Structure 1
Amino acid sequence: MNTASNAATVRTAPAANTTWLSKLRALALHALNLHLQNCAVLAEAHRRPQ
């Protein structure tokens, strides 16, 4: 998925990771990862023959 690039992005974030904007960004990245995982599951289910 997209976890490698997200992990790299998290590592390069500033040390003061307590602002509301950084928390919102982390939440958005987590939601994006969940969405991509869900899309992968649906695509795999759709790909398999009935």
Structure 2
Amino acid sequence: MNTASNAAAAHATAATNKTFFGKLRALALHALNLHLQNCAVIAEAYRRPQ
């Protein structure tokens, strides 16, 4: 995964994490990151020969 963009997104949300929408945005970014990691695991398992 691209951890540089994840770190940048986490750093960008640190300043806006005070409001409700800032917290919601941080939660959405975290959920998206977990989803993409899950997709990468599934793609890797699918790519490997049986």
Q: Do the structures match in fold with TM over 0.5?
A: yes
- TM-score between the two structures when normalised by the length of structure 1: 0.78
Q: What are the residue-to-residue correspondences of 1:6-45 with 2, within 5 Å?
A: 6-13=6-13, 15=15, 17-45=17-45
How many residues align? The count is 50
Q: Which runs of 5+ in 1 are unaligned?
A: none
Point out 4+ residue stretches in structure 1 off by more than 2 angstroms: 9-17
Aligned residues of 1:17 and 1:23 also touching (Cα < 8 A): yes
Q: After superposition, what is the alpha-carbon deviation per residue over 1:5-39, rounded to whole angstroms, capped at 9, x for unaligned?
A: 13213323473521000000000010011000000
CA distance in 1, matches of 2:7, 2:39: 20
Give the structure with the larger helix fraction: 2
- Taking only the aligned residue pairs, the percentage that are identical comes to 74
User: Scaled by the length of structure 2, what TM-score is found?
Assistant: 0.78
Please, what is the CA RMSD of the aligned residues? 1.8
Query: Within 2, Cα distance between the matches of 1:14 and 1:31?
Result: 16
Cα gap change, 1:28/1:14 in structure 2, threshold over 3 Å: closer, same or farther? closer
